[in-house]
Structures are given as C-alpha cells and as structure tokens.
Structure 1
Amino acid sequence: MEREQFFEDYVVGEVRHTTGRTITETDIVFHAGHSGDYFPHHVDVEFCKTQPFKRPIAHGTMTFAIGIGLTATEINPRAMSYGYDRLRFPNPVFAGDTIRTAVTVKSKEVDEKRPGFGRVIEAKDVTNQHGKTVMYVEHILIVEMKGDAK
C-alpha cells in the first residue's frame, strides 16, 4: 500500500505500528543458508545448551531484515532510504517469538546537500510478544519536499 508523504507531512513524535510476524525454526535455518552464517549460536542445539540462552537464537541480520520488512507494508514513493544508524540487538529472538515494529518519527531537517529534499529519521523499535525490545535502529530517509518548498 502506498503512503505518499512529502517531507512537510512528517510529524515528529508520530508513531505507527506493524502487524506481527512469528519467527520459525525454518526461518533461522533458511537464513543460515542464504547468509552462509552457520555460527553455532544459531544452528547447533547441543552447543546452545552450554550457552546462556540454552537454545538457538535468531541471526541479528535476520531480525533486521524481518523487522524492517514489516514496515514495508506502507511504501512512500517520495522517500528514499539513505541508511541506518545505531543498530542494536538488546535481547535475543528465538523460534516461536512474534516480533512487530513500532516506527516513530524521531526528527526531521532540511537536507542542505540536496535542494528540494529533507532528512527524516525514523526510530524503529522491534519488540517480541513480551514487549521486550529485540532490535533498535534509526532509519534515515531522504524525502521530497512539496513543490512550493523546493
């Protein structure tokens, strides 16, 4: 679904929430295959029994891909991704966890390098079914200004 917004339409403090997505053991195994990351913390049940979490944990890169992917249900054709800052994984994700993403407009400013565009920073807080943050990242967007503001 498109959600067309110009830079001026973003409101600092505005929050939107995604639907949930349950992580499966198959997701973890497929991600290991796609990424080549067979680190034992993700795929070796017996090794994990000797570790603090006692069971395999999802890859951070998979949590990032799915957590961000959940926000793609609303595409803004006026915005482009510039990058991500402050990526953190404060708690693990396990098979069976359901994650969802809260997107908060953290800040916005005119982009001095790109006439006719502004920068919007969206804080993305991915939580599990217990409300614990499993990933936090700030997404930097370059967003087109309205014609009269260019």
Structure 2
Amino acid sequence: MIVEQYFEDYEIGFTRRTMGRTITETDIVLHAGQTGDFFPHHMDAEWCATQDFKQRVAHGTLILSVAVGMTATTINPHAMSYGYDKVRFVKPVFINDTITVEAKIVDKRDHPKRATHGIVSELVTVTKQTGETVLACEHIYLVAKKPV
C-alpha cells in the first residue's frame, strides 16, 4: 500500500502495532547462513543446555531484521530509512517465541543541512508473548517537506 506523508503530516505520539510472528528454528538457521554467525549460542543445542538460558537464542540481528520487516507495511515515496540508533538486545528470544512490534513517533526536527527535508524518529519496541521487551531501538527517517 502506498501512503503519501510529508514531514508536516507526522504527529508525535502516533503509534503502530503489528501482529505477532513466531521465531522458528528455520529462521535462526537461515540467518546464520546469511550472516556467517554460527556461534554455539544460536546453533548448538547440546552446548546451550549447559549454559544459563538452557536453550538456543535467536540472533539479536535476526530479531532486529524481522521486527523492521514487520513494520514495513506501507510505502511512502516521500520518506526513506535514514538508519537506526540505540539498538539494544534487552532479553533473549528463543525458538517458538512470538514477537510483536510497536513503533511510536517520538521526535521530528528539521534536517540540519537540507531545508527541503526533516528527520522523524520513532521508538521501536519489540516484545514477546510474555510481555517482556526483547529489543528496543530508534528508527530514523529522512522525510521530504511539502513543496512550497
């Protein structure tokens, strides 16, 4: 779906929430193959059984990637991702945990060098079925201002 929104149209406090997505063993294996991260924390069930969590942990970067994809439900031709700040892997996600994502607009400001654009920041919070926050970050957008 295409939604045309200029910088002026964004409102601080606007919040979007996703449906759930269950993280599977296949997700972890595919992510390991794509990134080359085959650390035993993600891949070795026997070794993990001897560690604190007693089971394999999903890659933090997997959860970040899936969460970003879950929020990418519309195309705005006037905005683009400008990056992510303050990414924190707060709690582990295990195989068969279901995550949901909340994205809340928390700031908007003029771009320091481009008078035709602004910066919009949203706080992205990922929780699992227990209600625990597992990941948090700031997603930054570069957004065109309305033409004058």
Corresponding position: 1:106 with 2:98:
no
- Give TM-score scaled by structure 1 length: 0.95
Percent sequence identity is 53
Segments of 5+ residues of structure 2 without an aligned counterpart are none
Q: Which residue of 1 aligns with 2:10?
A: 10
Structure 2 distance, partners of 1:53, 1:22, is 19
Q: Which residue of 2 aligns with 1:53?
A: 53
Structure 1 distance, partners of 2:85, 2:36, is 24
Segments of 5+ residues of structure 1 without an aligned counterpart are none
Partner secondary structure for residue 46 of structure 1: helix
Structure 2 distance, partners of 1:77, 1:142, is 11
Q: Deviations over 1:62-121 (max 9, x none)?
A: 001001110111222211111110000111111111111100001000113112100000
Q: How many residues align?
A: 148
Deviation of 1:129 (Å): 1.1
Q: Which residue of 1 aligns with 2:97?
A: 97
Structure 1 distance, partners of 2:101, 2:76, is 17
Q: How does 1:66-77 map to 2 (within 5 A)?
A: 66-77=66-77
Q: How does 1:1-150 map to 2 (within 5 A)?
A: 1-148=1-148
Structure 1 distance, partners of 2:106, 2:44, is 39
Cα RMSD (Å):
0.9
Which amino acid in the other structure matches residue 52 of structure 2? P
